[in-house]
């Protein structure tokens, strides 16, 4: 059997081939001349292929004339030039085998258009829609670019753990992993839950970031990246936060913040360039149906230098902007989404890299500047989405790292292995984290992060 994807069958090169196509019916239209037009989709591309089903087919009256959206079929036929202007080719069916019916009375995707909110209730069916199909193909292309980019730059793919026993990054936002019985957990003599009797002999959590473990491998192997799921129990019901999301985290020895920012810029440009080149049909769909600014935004990322400015310069710009912000602009305070949007959308209309943030609002591991007021942190902000990357040069000096841990109320004993990296052969190093779903949002123009991941996990919601 000469199996052909819809994508391949739509190419003029396929003309003249006898082929087998398999997929799901999108529409059926019967012509008066005694044949039917079927639109077949198999997920290989946004477009359908038109199948001409002649009344002479053995099962024309009994089956073909009853096909409806969602039915699954195998079509054997000849690829021929199409008379229509929408497509170069069409398939003249010699045989149509029906695998599964989809009762038009109850099949939810029978109706042409549903809201994205409604489609979230059908996470098992929404991949059959044009929008989710396009999102998933672009998401896949981005993932491939992520690996291609780092592999070509000489980074080693390292798998950092998903379950972690270091309650490093603020346990409040972490999901606990336990096999203790919640109704009757083991207890200490004093009555507290006794995690010594838990599976790992101590409290364990789902990771919020692979960075600290990534540093272990970077300070041995040079340049590494991790790419995997991360989990945050923050109760923020926004269009940019998930409880489970995928993060790419490169970490490189002998990198300073300049190297880190340059890497981030090359990385984003590479992803955007690949998508523009390889997903033109899906991107045209997003431009026409989702957000008519998305192609311009991507081209400007691909072509223009990112705007770099220090946190202090950003505060000055915001203070002088004359804008009415809900949150006051004040040196020392974290930037809010409205401030980020002003910078990327109104002021520069381009990605912005902010660096050198006040030490008090950034993590203990970010390298202290000589001014002792700021740390070598950087955030990459993009229009619409805001923060897409957070990174820093790491503090490689043991004494200053200890000072920063004390300042933030952290117990150095909990980080003995992290501190060892500074005791033995310490090196300057830097890295960042890109949230995959934020990147897919930016590239596709999708407004809500729940619509760029197959199965979104958010507070109160994990049905599928």
Q: Does 232 bind ligand ATP (CB under 6 A)?
A: yes
Partner that binds at residue 242, options Mn ion, ligand ATP, none, CB closer than 5 to 8 Å by kind: ligand ATP
**340 makes contact with ligand ATP (CB under 6 A):** no
- Distance of closest approach, residue 456 Cβ to ligand ATP, in angstroms: 10
Q: To the nearest whole angstrom, how small is the minimum distance from the Cβ of residue 332 to ligand ATP?
A: 17
DSSP states along 224-288: EEEEEEEE-------TT--SEEEEEEEEEET--HHHHHHHHHHHHHHHHHHHHHH-HHHHHHHHH
> What would the 3-class secondary structure string for 306-374 be?
CEEEEHHHHHHHHHCCCCCCCCCCCCCCCCCHHHHHHHHHHHCCCCEEEEEEEHHHCCCCECECCCCCE
Binding string, residues 365-404; x marks residues near Mn ion by CB under 5 A = -------------------------x--------------
**Stretch of 9-17, 122-130, 186-194, 385-393 lying at the interface with ligand ATP (CB under 6 A):** 385-393
User: At its nearest, how many Å lie between Mn ion and the CB of residue 410?
Assistant: 18
Number of residues counted as binding Mn ion (CB under 5 A)? 1
Which tokens go with 125?
Answer: 């069916």
Stretch binding ligand ATP (CB under 6 A), from 37-45, 240-248, 323-331, 348-356: 240-248
Stretch that binds ligand ATP, among 83-91, 132-140, 285-293, 435-443 (CB under 6 A): 435-443
Question: Angle at the Cα of 393 (from 392 to 395), degrees rounded to 5?
Answer: 115
Candidate list 241, 384, 429, 450; residue touching ligand ATP; CB under 6 A: 241
Instruction: Candidates 155, 437, 441, 446: give the one binding ligand ATP (CB under 6 A).
Output: 437
Two structure tokens written together for 98: 């029906």
Residue 247's binding partner, choosing from Mn ion, ligand ATP, none, with beta-carbon cut-off 5 to 8 A by kind?
A: ligand ATP
Verify binding: residue 435, ligand ATP, rule CB under 6 A: yes
Which of ligand ATP, Mn ion, none sits in contact with 245, Cβ below 5 to 8 A by type? ligand ATP
Nearer to Mn ion, 199 or 327 (CB): 327
**Residue 350 and residue 343: Cα distance in Å, rounded?**
9
Q: Which residues contact 379 (CB under 8 A, 6 or more apart)?
A: 353, 354, 355, 357, 387, 389, 390, 391
Q: How far is the CB of 389 from Mn ion (least distance, A)?
A: 8
- C-beta of residue 171 within 8 angstroms of C-beta of residue 177: no
Question: Residue 141 and residue 400: Cα distance in Å, rounded?
Answer: 42
Q: Least Å distance between CB 379 and Mn ion?
A: 6
Q: Are 54 and 37 in contact (CB under 8 A)?
A: no
389 binds ligand ATP (CB under 6 A): yes
Query: How many residues in the shown chain lie near ligand ATP by CB under 6 A?
Result: 14
Cβ at position 80, least distance to Mn ion in Å? 55
CB of 377 to Mn ion, least distance (A): 8
Handedness of CA 39, 42, 46, 49 (dihedral sign): negative
Cα–Cα dist 406/313, whole Å: 29
| Structure token digits, residue 162 | 């998903």
CA distance 3 to 10: 13
Nearer to ligand ATP, 23 or 433 (CB): 433
Name the β-bridge partners of 19.
77
Residues that bind Mn ion (CB under 5 A): 390
Residues that bind ligand ATP (CB under 6 A): 232, 241-242, 245, 247, 387-390, 433-435, 437-438
């Amino acid at each position: 059997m000469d199996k052909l994807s819809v994508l391949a069958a739509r190419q003029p090169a396929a003309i003249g081939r006898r082929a087998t196509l398999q997929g799901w019916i999108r529409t059926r239209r019967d012509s008066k001349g005694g044949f039917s037009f079927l639109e077949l989709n198999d997920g290989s591309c946004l477009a359908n292929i038109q199948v001409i089903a002649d009344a002479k087919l053995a099962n024309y009256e009994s089956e073909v004339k009853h096909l409806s959206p969602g039915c699954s079929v195998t079509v054997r036929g000849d690829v021929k030039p199409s008379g229509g202007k929408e497509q170069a080719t069409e398939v003249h069916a010699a045989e149509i085998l029906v695998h599964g019916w989809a009762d038009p009375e109850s099949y939810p995707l029978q109706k042409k258009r549903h809201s994205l909110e409604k489609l979230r209730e059908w996470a098992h069916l929404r991949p059959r829609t044009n929008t989710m199909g396009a999102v998933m193909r672009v998401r896949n292309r981005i993932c491939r670019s992520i690996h291609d980019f780092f592999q070509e730059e000489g980074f080693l793919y390292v798998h950092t753990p998903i379950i972690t026993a270091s309650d490093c990054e603020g346990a409040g936002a972490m999901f606990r992993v336990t096999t203790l019985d919640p109704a009757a957990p083991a207890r200490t003599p004093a009555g507290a839950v006794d995690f010594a009797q838990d599976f790992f002999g101590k409290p364990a959590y789902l990771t919020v970031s692979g960075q600290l473990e990534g540093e272990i491998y970077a300070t041995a192997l040079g340049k590494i990246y991790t790419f995997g799921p991360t989990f945050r129990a923050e109760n923020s019901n926004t269009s940019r936060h998930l409880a489970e999301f995928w993060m790419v985290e490169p970490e490189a020895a002998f990198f300073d913040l300049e190297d880190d920012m340059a890497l981030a810029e090359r990385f984003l440009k590479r992803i955007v360039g690949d998508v523009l080149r390889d997903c033109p049909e899906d991107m045209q769909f997003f431009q026409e149906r989702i957000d008519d600014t998305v192609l311009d935004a991507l081209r400007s990322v691909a072509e223009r230098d990112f705007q770099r400015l220090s946190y202090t310069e950003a505060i000055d710009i915001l203070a002088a902007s004359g804008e009415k912000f809900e949150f006051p602009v004040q040196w020392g305070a974290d930037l809010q989404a409205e401030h980020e949007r002003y910078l990327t959308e109104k002021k520069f209309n381009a990605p912005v890299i902010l660096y050198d943030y006040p030490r008090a609002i950034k993590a203990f591991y970010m390298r202290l500047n000589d001014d002792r007021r700021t740390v070598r942190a950087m955030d990459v902000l993009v229009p619409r989405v805001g923060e897409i990357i957070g990174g820093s040069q790491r503090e490689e000096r043991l004494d200053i790292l200890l000072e920063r841990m004390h300042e933030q109320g952290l117990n150095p004993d909990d980080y003995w292995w992290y501190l060892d990296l500074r005791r033995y052969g310490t090196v300057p190093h830097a890295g960042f984290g890109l949230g995959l779903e934020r990147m897919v949002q930016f590239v596709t123009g999708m407004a809500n992060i729940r619509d760029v991941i197959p199965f979104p996990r958010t507070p109160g919601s994990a049905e599928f």
